[in-house]
């Protein structure tokens, strides 16, 4: 399998000022092309560091791709560092200079002469058009025929220039893209999922990767042969089918799947939130067209809001507390009745970091689910900081709704989310 190295260049990355999303994008796209990314380095905008980074990269792999450091200012050292490594001179490219001038002219912006520094490229290099900015991509080969690509740092520009990189690589190399299957799952922790899958036997060319988040776990299955992929996906789907909410589309969200079902059934949902502060309703309305099925929500953070708006009984709050089965039930029923929705979902809990007591620790959350024929309450004790507890709570609530819509019998569904019905 052909190999690639990626170099991220920029002081702002090393100082934690920005997150290096370029690497994640490039690594994924190169893998899908059929390249094995075996090395990644991040170096400052210093000529000597860039020079050394290219030396390491081409020593380890056939292709080296860098991002960043192609701007017009003196601290953009990528071109100089590469020339130093290759022992080549910089040459002025008149076509690049013309493109830079046109870029500013078309936008009615006065151009600084400093921008023409981007028209200098290493001897023997081929520029790659950048429709989103002034820094062209650069492609060249080393004396021993290794391929080097220089891409601009801004993600929008990097992705625009990568189209040329993809074309060149596909033309120059005989690549065999891997066969891929993606399962998006909800309600099963990564550790348990890995335990189940590790008991299975797959063909030798199959690779399984797990990508957990607070919203679920994505499983990526890759193989060299179609038969191997079919074998692996069939086995995994057999044990995880009840927890898979989407296949192959890694951008598809659980709330989108829920929205599609609600719309098809002409059913609606409303929410009553305390500790999540609107996070659940926000995730629902993040989906375009959610007004078809989301009627409204109440952020009943204070007890007064719970009683006056949702009809929760004062005596139950006094006796059982706001974070309790009784209050979660009345919140779910109250919001369902208030908006006339098919389903009402409530969340009340202690997100922390303060407010917990031994009987009710930080992370304790009750989720209420009111349907036309029943009202159920599920209790959780989530781990993590405040944001993690809130995100896990919203995810668990969506999972309960999805299970009801998909399978109907929520009470007897084999949840693996650490909660319990109360």
Confidence grade of residue 113 (pLDDT, cut at 50, 70, 90): confident
Q: What percent of the chain has pLDDT over 90?
A: 94
Q: How many CB atoms within 10 Å of residue 265?
A: 11
Average pLDDT of the residues in 410-422: 95
On the question of pLDDT at 239 being above 90, the answer is: yes
CATH number of the domain residue 214 falls in = 3.30.70.2860
Confidence grade of residue 211 (pLDDT, cut at 50, 70, 90): very high
Element holding 333 (H helix, E strand): helix 325-339
On the question of pLDDT at 105 being above 90, the answer is: no
Dihedral, CA of residue 15, residue 18, residue 21 and residue 26, to nearest 10: -50
Q: Are residues 90 and 113 in the same domain?
A: yes
Residue 75: the pLDDT is: 78
Residue 46: the pLDDT is: 96
Average pLDDT of the residues in 143-147: 96
**Who contacts 150 (Cβ-Cβ below 8 Å, separation ≥6)?**
66, 70, 78, 79, 82, 137, 138, 139
CATH number of the domain residue 131 falls in = 3.40.980.10
Q: Are residues 236 and 354 in the same domain?
A: no
Residue 307: the pLDDT is: 97
Cα gap 148→82, rounded to integer Å? 9
Average pLDDT of the residues in 57-81: 93
Cα gap 183→181, rounded to integer Å? 7
Residue where a domain stops, chosen among 121, 146, 172: 172
Q: Are residues 188 and 108 in the same domain?
A: no
On the question of pLDDT at 221 being above 80, the answer is: yes
On the question of pLDDT at 106 being above 90, the answer is: no
Q: Are residues 116 and 75 in the same domain?
A: yes
Residue 112: the pLDDT is: 87
Q: Which domain holds residue 206?
A: 179-247
Cα gap 183→329, rounded to integer Å? 33
Confidence grade of residue 107 (pLDDT, cut at 50, 70, 90): confident
**Do 128 and 122 meet the contact criterion of CB atoms below 8 Å apart?**
no
Residue 419: the pLDDT is: 97
Q: Are residues 239 and 258 in the same domain?
A: no
Residue 204: the pLDDT is: 96
Strand pairing category for 374-381 and 420-421: antiparallel
Q: Are residues 333 and 379 in the same domain?
A: yes
DSSP letters along 216-264, please?
A: EEEEEEEESSHHHHHHHHHHHHHHHGGGEEEES-TT--HHHHHHHHHHH
Q: Are residues 155 and 204 in the same domain?
A: no
Element holding 130 (H helix, E strand): none
**Who contacts 276 (Cβ-Cβ below 8 Å, separation ≥6)?**
347, 349, 351, 390, 393, 394
For residues 38-76, one letter each, b for 16 or more C-beta atoms within 10 angstroms of the residue's C-beta and e for the rest, the string is ebebbbbbbbebbbbbbeebbeebbbbbbbbbbbbeeeb
Average pLDDT of the residues in 150-155: 97
Residue where a domain stops, chosen among 232, 247, 262: 247
pLDDT digits (tens, 9 = 90+) for 370-413: 999 999 999 999 999 999 999 999 999 999 999 999 999 999 99
On the question of pLDDT at 181 being above 90, the answer is: yes
Q: Are residues 392 and 304 in the same domain?
A: yes
Q: Are residues 80 and 157 in the same domain?
A: yes
Average pLDDT of the residues in 333-352: 98
Q: What are phi and psi of 371, to 5 degrees?
A: -115, 170
On the question of pLDDT at 73 being above 90, the answer is: no
Q: Are residues 271 and 312 in the same domain?
A: yes
Q: Are residues 60 and 160 in the same domain?
A: yes
Average pLDDT of the residues in 11-19: 95
Residue where a domain stops, chosen among 247, 277, 293: 247
On the question of pLDDT at 74 being above 80, the answer is: no
Mean pLDDT of the chain: 96
> How many domains, the chain?
3
Assign residue 251 a region (left: φ > 0; alpha: ψ between -120 and 50; beta: otherwise).
alpha
Q: Are residues 110 and 212 in the same domain?
A: no
- Mapping DSSP onto H, E and C, the string for 260-314 reads HHHHHHCCCEEEEECCCCCHHHHHHHCCCCHHHCEEEEEECCCHHHHHHHHCCCH
């Amino acid at each position: 399998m052909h190999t690639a190295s990626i170099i991220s260049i920029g002081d702002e990355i090393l100082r934690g000022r920005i997150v290096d999303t370029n690497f994640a994008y490039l690594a994924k796209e190169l893998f899908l092309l059929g390249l094995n990314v075996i090395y990644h380095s991040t170096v400052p905008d210093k000529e000597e560091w860039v020079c050394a980074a290219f030396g390491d990269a081409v020593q380890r792999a056939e292709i080296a791709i860098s991002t960043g450091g192609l701007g017009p200012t003196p601290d953009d050292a990528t071109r100089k560092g590469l020339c130093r490594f290759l022992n080549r001179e910089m040459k002025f490219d008149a076509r690049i200079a013309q493109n830079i001038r046109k870029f500013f002219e078309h936008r009615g912006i006065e151009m600084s002469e400093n921008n023409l520094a981007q028209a200098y490229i290493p001897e023997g290099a081929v520029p790659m058009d950048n429709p989103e900015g002034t820094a062209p991509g650069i492609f060249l080969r080393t004396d021993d025929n290794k391929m080097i690509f220089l891409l601009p740092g801004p993600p929008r520009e990097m992705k625009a220039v990568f189209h040329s990189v993809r074309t060149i690589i596909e033309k120059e190399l005989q690549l065999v893209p891997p066969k891929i299957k993606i399962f998006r799952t909800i309600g099963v922790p990564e550790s348990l999922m890995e335990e189940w899958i590790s008991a299975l036997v797959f063909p030798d060319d199959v690779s399984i990767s797990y990508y957990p988040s607070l919203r679920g776990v994505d499983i990526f299955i890759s193989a060299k042969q179609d038969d191997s992929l079919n074998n692996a996906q069939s086995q995994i789907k057999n044990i995880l089918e009840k927890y898979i909410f989407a296949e192959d589309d890694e951008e598809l969200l659980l709330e989108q799947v829920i929205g599609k079902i609600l719309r098809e059934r002409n059913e609606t949902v409303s929410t009553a939130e305390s500790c999540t502060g609107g996070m659940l309703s926000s995730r629902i309305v993040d989906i375009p067209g959610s007004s078809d099925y989301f009627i409204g929500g109440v952020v009943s953070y204070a007890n007064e809001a719970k009683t006056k708006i949702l009809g929760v009984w004062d005596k139950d709050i006094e006796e059982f507390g706001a974070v309790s089965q009784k209050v979660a039930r009345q919140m779910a029923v109250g919001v369902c009745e208030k908006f006339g929705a098919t389903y009402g979902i409530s969340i009340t809990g202690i997100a922390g970091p303060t407010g917990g007591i031994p009987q009710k620790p930080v992370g304790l959350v009750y989720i209420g689910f009111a349907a036309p024929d029943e009202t159920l309450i599920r209790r959780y004790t989530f781990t993590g900081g405040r944001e993690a507890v809130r995100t896990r709570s919203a995810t668990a609530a969506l999972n309960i709704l999805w299970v009801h819509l998909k399978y109907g019998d929520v009470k007897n569904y084999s949840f693996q989310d650490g909660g319990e019905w109360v």
